[in-house]
Structure 1
Amino acid sequence: MGYELVELGDVIANIATGPFGSNLKVSCFVPKGFPVVDGANLRGYKLTDNITKFVTDEKARSLSRSIAHRGDVVATISGNVGQVAYIPDDSAYAGYLCSQRQFKMSFDTNRVYVPYLVYYLHTREGQHQILSFVNQTGVPALAQPTKNFKRIVVPLPSLKQQMAITRIPELLDDAIELNSRTNGYLGELCESVAAQQMDSQDKLADLCHQVNDKVPCDEAQLDSYVSTESLLPNKGGRETASSLPSTGKVTAYKAGDTLVSNIRPYFKKVWLADQSGTCSGDVIVFRANDRRDAAYVYSLIRSDSFFDYVMLGSKGTKMPRGDKKQMMGYPVSRHCDAQGLALLNSAAEKLCANRRQNVALSELRDVLLPKLMSGEIDVSKVEVPTQPNSHLYEN
């Protein structure tokens, strides 16, 4: 495969950092409005729409230099350095305001197929180049991010070859996204079925209990450790954290348990476990008293009304947390009819199966990607669209 080595600066059309902290304070955020990107939206190859921060349109216009649009690439400056994602053509919003910890780039699409570039920056070689600019003291951060990012060298074959190389990873990611969307619909179905159980004379404590089984951190496994951020929606893989705590103990959970983030419960972060593992102390583990009710318990806890109820008992202002005891008083019907329970169990089984398939698809993609980039896998017969990059800008 023929290619040239190109510095990103040669193909970057525009690059800009997020606003200074004084221009984007906590007081600027509103419940709905213009979306603000943070690290939770950059965990994959594409920017995800699990947006938790918004500003007014007027505020966004005043910071227009830091707005990223469809087809742009957004990267993290500090914290989880190495995060790089592009905004796809089917994003929920046409534009996103970068936070203080991000910067955005637009590329010359006559020379660069944007997904190819992002996939390359996720390879070992791409990550090595990004991380070589990280300072070694305090919170990890890119030194002179816009200047140094331009110095990153990428192998750049023809535009058609770039598209052919990324075709398989893109198809795998499409399958992952489809499974994730399906799981969202399945979750909503579970809520609907549970809501039809009209008798609310019982309490959540009659159906389940909170688990507090602890194990030492050195006995935990990274691929099954869940943090509060792991529970954000629209995750493509196992939905686990990027690192484990080094000391102390963590909570153990089992397959069938429902995991809920107890931080800022106005964001609905809930997950039905499909395996055993461990989680952080800010994740609450609910276990059905009768394991046959596991899907029903998940469906009840997943509802908006449960999180509204938790907010009524939450404590704190900047970082509110739910009252664990108060949660167990949430009014429910202890019994779910046989037809409803069968439907819930079927939906939960499919939900977990989709998540396991996403893990396998993610692992396959990560194995294939370096082989495709290096030319070890021949892509000469891969069919690609006739208008490269056009899909990034369709409305």
Structure 2
Amino acid sequence: MKYKRYVISDLLSEISMGPFGSNIKKECFVDAGIPVLNGSNLADVAMNDDAFRYVTEEKADSLGKANASRGDVVVTHRGTLGQISFIPSNSMYERYVISQSQFRFRCNEKVLPEYLVYYFHTRKGQHDLLSNASQVGVPALARATTTFQQLEVEIPEIEVQRKIVGILELLRNKIELNKEINKNLLQQMESIYKAWFIDYIPFNGKRPINWEKTSIYTIANIIYGAPFASKLFNTDGEGVPIIRIRDLKEQAFVTYTTEKHPKGHLIQPGDIVVGMDGEFRPYIWGNTEAWLNQRVCIFKNIRPKGKAFVLFTIKPLLFKIEQTQVATTVIHIGKKDYDAFEFYLPDEKTLNQFDTITYPMLEQVVVNSLENKRLSELRDSLLPRLMSGELDVSSLDL
């Protein structure tokens, strides 16, 4: 395949910085309107619609080129550097406002925006993107749009770009589909839990009198992470992955350790895991086994198929602690808080019926999560080989 070298500025039809901070003040935000992007929306190659704040249409109009639309690419230049995402054609909204920590650009006919974003997600692309980064104070790209446009990149002809993007997008779309299925399954299970054990709909709206108040230890054992030595941590993949609080949301392996702690516990796929500092959210672990670090714990269900009941029982209890904690820095939860967790335990028949419904649903969530791990690994292994031309796709019929 033939590649041609371009300066990035020759591939763009438009580029602009986000608004000044003084142009979007706290009082500008409203309950609905035009969404304002933040770093959490740029966690992958495609922008996600997970969480927004909003400004009015009038305010968005006044911000001019800080408005981004489908097909545009958004880059973080201050804060979490390395983030670059395209706005997909199926995004929730037609337009967005970028933040003061971002810039946006639009590609011309020489390059597909998806291709350019995938390139900047390779190791070489990330190196280029961060070549002018400053780590003094808040990490930032110096003269962000100017230095970005001066970068050089080698790209194939547009039809080859389409084929490469087509392969990578097949994988991404399957990953996104699995995420949506899991989201739907968890919502269904939580709705059933609420209907049965909060609103008591199958029991004429009243809690059965034979349900007795009991402690959380009736349905779960709590396993605490061990204090592994941080001096033995590495990011080179040596040893066994170790899970810290920061890893729970994305469930990705970042840190490894060669230490075998005598009190160490390996987290398993499907375990209910909770971080004990900052925020207290229960997650279904959807990756392979890893060491459990200190300040992370597992709620191990005692009933063989009772995992969903444990999950949705502890979720509001954890949230209540999170909302009532007052601290000047980071809030904490501990064994004393867990010891005080109480709830009304349903009768055996009702629990068995709930388990019968929810157990296969939760098992599917874990299966989908593990499949996404494999798909992500496949994508990550293919990405540099496709971008470099090592894998020739020019003859493929896609």
TM-score by length of 1: 0.80
CA contact (8 A) 2:242 2:256 kept: no
CA shift for structure 1 position 100: 2.1
SS in 1 for 2:65: helix
- Cα deviations across residues 147-200 of structure 1 (Å, max 9, x unaligned)? 011112121222111101222111111111111111111111221332324347
For residues 18 and 255 of structure 2, what CA distance do their matches in structure 1 show?
26
The amino acid across from 2:145 in the alignment is T
Query: Using a 3 Å threshold, how does the CA distance of structure 1 residues 370 and 254 change in structure 2: closer, same or farther?
Result: closer
- 1:371 partner SS: helix
Query: Quick one: which of 360, 366, 370 aligns to 2:374?
Result: 360
Instruction: State the 1:344 CA deviation.
Output: 1.9
Q: Tell which has more relative contact order, 1 or 2 (C-alpha 8 A, sep 6+).
A: 1
> Any gaps of 5 or more consecutive residues in structure 1?
385-395
Aligned-pair distance for 1:359? 1.0
| C-alpha contact 1:309 1:330 (8 A) present in aligned 2 | no
Residues 66 and 337 (structure 1), Cα distance of their counterparts in 2 relative to 1, 3 Å cut: same
Map 1:160-239 onto structure 2 (within 5 A): 160-195=159-194, 196-197=196-197, 198=200, 199=207, 201-202=212-213, 205=216, 206-208=218-220, 211-216=223-228, 217-218=230-231, 223-228=241-246, 230-231=248-249, 239=251
CA deviations on 1:308-334 (whole Å, 9 max, x unpaired) are 745653436998878986675464545
Contact between 2:248 and 2:275, CA under 8 Å: does it hold in 1?
no
- Residue 12 of structure 1: CA displacement? 1.3
Within 2, Cα distance between the matches of 1:219 and 1:293?
37
Matches within 5 A, 1:1-395: 1-108=1-108, 110-195=109-194, 196-197=196-197, 198=200, 199=207, 201-202=212-213, 205=216, 206-208=218-220, 211-216=223-228, 217-218=230-231, 223-228=241-246, 230-231=248-249, 239-240=251-252, 254-255=267-268, 256-260=270-274, 270-274=282-286, 275-278=289-292, 281=295, 285-290=298-303, 292-301=305-314, 309-310=320-321, 313-315=324-326, 329=341, 331-334=343-346, 336-384=350-398
Letter in 1 for 2:123: R
**In the alignment, what sits opposite 1:390?**
none
Once the two structures are superposed, what CA deviation does each residue of 1:59-92 show, in whole Å capped at 9, x if it has no partner? Answer: 3333242121111111111222111110101111
C-alpha separation between the residues in 2 aligned to 1:293 and 1:369? 40
CA offset digits 1:130-149 (Å, max 9, x no partner) = 11111243332111110011
Query: Displacement of 1:8 after TM fit?
Result: 1.2
Q: Which amino acid aligns with 1:182?
A: I
How many residues get paired? Answer: 369
Report the alpha carbon displacement of residue 360 of structure 1 after superposing the two structures with TM: 0.9
SS state at 1:337 partner: helix
| Paired residue type of 1:366 | D
Contact persistence 1:220–1:277 (CA under 8 A)? no
In the alignment, the residues of structure 1 paired with residue 323 and residue 124 of structure 2 have an alpha-carbon distance, to the nearest angstrom, of: 49
Deviation at 1:33, TM superposition (A): 3.9
Report the RMSD for the aligned CA atoms in angstroms. Answer: 3.4
3-state secondary structure, aligned to 1:214: coil
Q: How has the CA–CA distance of structure 1 residues 244 and 106 changed in structure 2, closer, same or farther, with 3 Å as cutoff?
A: farther
**DSSP-derived class of the 1:342 partner:** helix
Letter in 2 for 1:299: F
Deviation at 1:201, TM superposition (A): 4.9
Q: How far apart are 1:226 and its partner, in Å?
A: 4.5
TM-score (ref. length: structure 2): 0.79
Shift of 1:56: 3.8
* Identical residues among aligned pairs (%): 32
Aligned in 2, Cα 1:14/1:333: closer, same or farther, shift over 3 Å?
Answer: farther
> Does structure 1 conserve the Cα–Cα contact (< 8 Å) formed by 2:36 and 2:55?
yes
Structure 2 unaligned regions, length at least 5: 201-206, 236-240
